[in-house]
Structure 1
Amino acid sequence: MTTAHSEEALKALMLLSLDGDEAAYRRLLTALRVLLVGYYSRRMAAATRADMEDLVQETLLALHSRRSTYDRNRPFTAWFFSIARYKLIDHHRGRGGRRLAETELDDEIESDFSEDRLTARMDVERLLDGLPLRQQELIRQVKLEGSSVADAANRTGQSESAVKVSIHRALKAIGERLRGTS
């Protein structure tokens, strides 16, 4: 059974709306509004209700203007929450700073929404999905987040040598999959 806010339900509504179903689009916007209020309230502790409402509206407008760029074969919620995240970054930058204590944003993210960046992130996640969970986490920590091998070893309780071997094997498996030899 799927809930109204599950990936499957939201994606189904998005696909129906792209095919012209206005009722599905209204249901999608209503469901997304609820999710956005929760998403932004956790990340904007000191925000006024009006600021949060403005941000919700801006995000839904961005969805509306970008919905034709949505790739039907990709996860909807990852695409949508990337839009929401960039709107939050813009909001904080427009207020003279990010208030990092209230947000989970990285310093490296640029203010411009980039469909290419979103696509690249989703491609990386798809490649990682084919790996064992332990290897996924090590790749994220060391290769994507920039942690040292020593830090990753400490966090996982493995030796540095085991972390290096696991990362090497994961990258080799990804390479084989990309070449079509696995």
Structure 2
Amino acid sequence: MDDREQRWAQMMQAALAGDQPAYEQLLREMAPAVRAVVRRRLSRLGAPTGETEDVVQETLLAVHLKRHTWRSADPIGPWLWTIARNKLVDHLRRRGRRVEVPVENFADILPAPEERPDTAAADVQRHLALLPEKQQAVLRAVAVDGASIGETAERMRMTPGAVRVALHRAFASLATLLRTDE
């Protein structure tokens, strides 16, 4: 495991123990790394690199929602890159493109860990219901329905920037609610 992944693993362990500053720093460090990988892969696949930020946001949302699935005994890199790969493939599929990603591109990545069965849809709905209406709508559109930032902006008559802000605020509110719920 390289130094960066070791640092990320330590920050994730701290975050899972309730250290919010460590979690925020982890996401700040992961974002540019994910952005570079996604942009490169979109380019290789002939897809517009302008869609990079949508995939990065979807990946960070998935990291947030699935952080409890990371096993501290496992390296964090393969877990993160599997999430990013899956979000990239999902993103391209929603655009109606057939995606065939060569296995060689991900030879060093382990399969995603199985989801824990105790994470019920009812819990997700309960937490979402506690968010303000606009944040709920944006989070549902992007995270649940799989809409892009652009599609959500158009559907909700907002700018893409306003959607990203609402999504970020929804994450922050959701993180606070989940912390107090635990």
TM-score (norm 1): 0.52
Q: What displacement does 1:97 show?
A: 1.5
What does 1:1-182 align with in structure 2 at a 5 Å threshold?
3=3, 6-45=4-43, 46-48=46-48, 50-98=50-98, 100=100, 104=102, 115-116=113-114
Unaligned runs of 5+ residues in structure 1 are 107-112, 118-182
What displacement does 1:95 show? Answer: 1.2
Q: Comparing both chains, which one has the higher relative contact order based on Cα–Cα distances under 8 Å and sequence gaps of 6 or more?
A: 2
Does the CA contact (< 8 Å) of 1:63 and 1:80 recur in 2? yes
Aligned-partner residue type, residue 73 of structure 2: N
Rounded Cα–Cα distance in structure 2 between residues aligned with 1:87 and 1:81: 10
* CA positional deviation for 1:31: 0.8
Q: What's the Cα RMSD here?
A: 2.4
Partner Cα separation in structure 1 for residue 97 and residue 83 of structure 2: 19
Point out the structure with max Rg over C-alpha: 1
Are the equivalent residues in 1 in contact too, given 2:55–2:88 (CA < 8 A)? yes
Shift of 1:96: 1.1
Q: Percent identity?
A: 35
8 Å CA contact 1:89, 1:98 repeated in 2: no
Gaps of 5+ in 2: 105-110, 116-182
SS at match of 1:42: helix
Alpha-carbon distance, 1:98 to partner: 3.5
| Structure 1 residues 77 and 92: CA distance shift in structure 2, 3 A | same
Total equivalences in the alignment: 106
Where in structure 1 do 4 or more consecutive aligned residues deviate above 6 Å?
A: none
Contact 2:70 2:113 in 1 (8 A): no
CA distance in 1, matches of 2:71, 2:99: 33
Q: Which residue of 1 aligns with 2:146?
A: none
Q: How far is 1:13 from its partner?
A: 0.8
